[in-house]
Amino acid sequence: MLKVTKFGGSSMADAGQYRKIRDILQADPGRKVVVVSAAGKRNKNDNKLTDLLYLCHAHSQYGVDCTPVFDMITSRYIEIRDELNLDVNLEQEFALLKKRVDGKSVTQDELVSRGEYFSAKLMAAYLDFQFVDAADWIRFNLDGSVDKENSYELLQGLVKGKGVVIPGFYGIMPDGHIRTFSRGGSDITGALAAAALDADVYENWTDVSGILMADPRIVENPQAIAEVTYDELRELSYAGAQVLHEGTILPVREKGIPLNIRNTNDPEHPGTIIREKFDTEVDPHRVITGITGKKDYSIITVFKRGLTSEVGILRRILGVLEKHHISVDFVPNGIDNVSLVMPTAVVAPKLYTLLADMQQHIEPDNIEVMDQVAIVAAVGHRMAYRPGVSGQIFKALGEADINIRMINQGPDELNIIFGVDNRDFASAIRVLYNSFAK
């Protein structure tokens, strides 16, 4: 049995967390591969090392001395090392790095990757595991995708008999430069390691007991979901639930490796299991798996009499968006109108030229633009073919006086997505949670 484990930022925040990790690993001999993040926040007002590293790079780019920030970074790691009595010469590596930062010879990606690098060095020493650098096996292609075949083969060659610790978040480009994934990318490193080594399970250890039915910053103490399918997880993370980086799923899904989200601070809790499908379900009566969403969308609605019978008009409307390099999230429509739903940050800078183009190419009767819209998604594979779910959703929202701006349901009935005013976002999620959680 091989379990690849990944520990996120808060799980790596201080020496006490390192001790918890050692206990978790000792509790199961299958846990032999450990992927780590940079040290995260120890409390609400603390700093995440990755953020400090970005800050440090920005300072040096603008010619501002980054020594105070750099010292904050080094002291966090030295503190962990000293508290755990580890024999790792950090000072020498820090001094070399600082020289390169001052000389502007270190790229942003390389500098921020050092958060996970030092975490992994310390963790390897603490566990007496082999340190395997991500730069020695994660190979990016020129387009930024991962060359999985090559990377998997390289990792297989590097792992010797005992346990290994791998820094998350980065790999190298064909020219040897370090490149990071986007933020939260250590989850991907763990998934790649699990796939490369054909692990039996990929355990992703974080600070919550699995995927919760709703964002814990919105709903107080939401229930954890025991089982989630890969498809549901995709919908949940696309629509806003940021528990896992969305690039995590593909590598493990391709190999049929189940993913288990666990809580470092509550290791006995079974967390959430994610797989292709479940033959027998622990909770077959749960209609909605999760509720999630994002604020700050814009809806552009094009009105034109006879729109649905005009051949090619949708293509022309989408063609205008294509010309402006805008991808659209949802396209709900009525008989004489079609709406385009997109993040405001994407459309706002191009709005006026976009509207002018619509006027010219579509000749609509009217165009309306609505901002300050939040998208809320209720996700669950059991909603399919079950009548009355949308009725229950809209009844609950209506009773709470929440106005619905747009409704969209995919043909696979895996989700029901609707738009509400930004200011109703949190209450819409709470209302749905209270209506569907058991």
Which structure tokens are listed for 190?
Answer: 């763990």
Least spacing, CB of residue 380 vs ligand ADP, in Å? 13
Q: Does 115 bind ligand ASP (CB under 6 A)?
A: yes
Among 185, 210, 247, 380, binds ligand ASP (CB under 6 A): 185
CA distance 225 to 231: 15
Residues 49-78 that bind ligand ASP (CB under 6 A): 50
Number of Cβ atoms within 10 Å of the Cβ of 89: 9
Q: What is the CA radius of gyration of the chain?
A: 24
Among 4, 5, 10, 129, binds ligand ADP (CB under 6 A): 10
**Nearest CA-CA partner of 39 in 84, 3, 105:** 84
Inter-residue contact 115 to 49 (CB < 8 Å): yes
Positions of E strands within 279-388? 290-303, 337-343, 366-379
Q: Does 167 bind ligand ADP (CB under 6 A)?
A: no
Least spacing, CB of residue 134 vs ligand ASP, in Å? 11
Residues 24-43 that bind ligand ADP (CB under 6 A): 37, 40
Q: In what order do the strands lie in the sheet with 259-263?
A: 130-131, 164-167, 31-36, 3-7, 201-206, 259-263, 272-275, 227-229
Q: Does 216 bind ligand ADP (CB under 6 A)?
A: yes
Amino acid identity of residue 398, one-letter, is G
Q: Which residues pair with 378 in a beta bridge?
A: 291, 416
Among 186, 204, 237, 260, binds ligand ASP (CB under 6 A): 186
Q: Does 117 bind ligand ASP (CB under 6 A)?
A: no
- The structure tokens 């970005």 sit at 54
Among 242, 353, 359, 434, binds ligand ADP (CB under 6 A): 242
Among 41, 183, 255, 324, binds ligand ASP (CB under 6 A): 183
By CB under 6 A, the count of residues binding ligand ADP is 20
Give the phi and the psi of residue 84 in degrees, each rounded to 5. -95, 5
**Nearest CA-CA partner of 284 in 412, 62, 438:** 438
Q: Does 180 bind ligand ADP (CB under 6 A)?
A: no
Count Cβ neighbours within 10 Å for each residue of 7-38 and write b for 16 or more, e otherwise.
bbbbbbbbbebbeebeebbeeeeebbbbbbbb
Least spacing, CB of residue 243 vs Mg ion, in Å? 7
Strands 337-343 and 290-303: antiparallel
Which region among 6-14, 83-91, 142-150, 402-410 touches ligand ADP (by CB under 6 A)? Answer: 6-14
Residue 391-430 contact track with ligand ADP, rule CB under 6 A, x = bound: ----------------------------------------
Q: Does 13 bind ligand ADP (CB under 6 A)?
A: no
Which region among 109-117, 176-184, 194-202, 308-316 touches Mg ion (by CB under 5 A)? Answer: 176-184
Least spacing, CB of residue 44 vs ligand ASP, in Å? 16
Give the phi and the psi of residue 315 in degrees, each rounded to 5. -60, -40
The residues of the shown chain that bind Mg ion, judged by CB under 5 A, are 8, 184
Residues that bind ligand ADP (CB under 6 A): 8-11, 37, 40, 184, 206-208, 211-212, 214-217, 241-243, 290
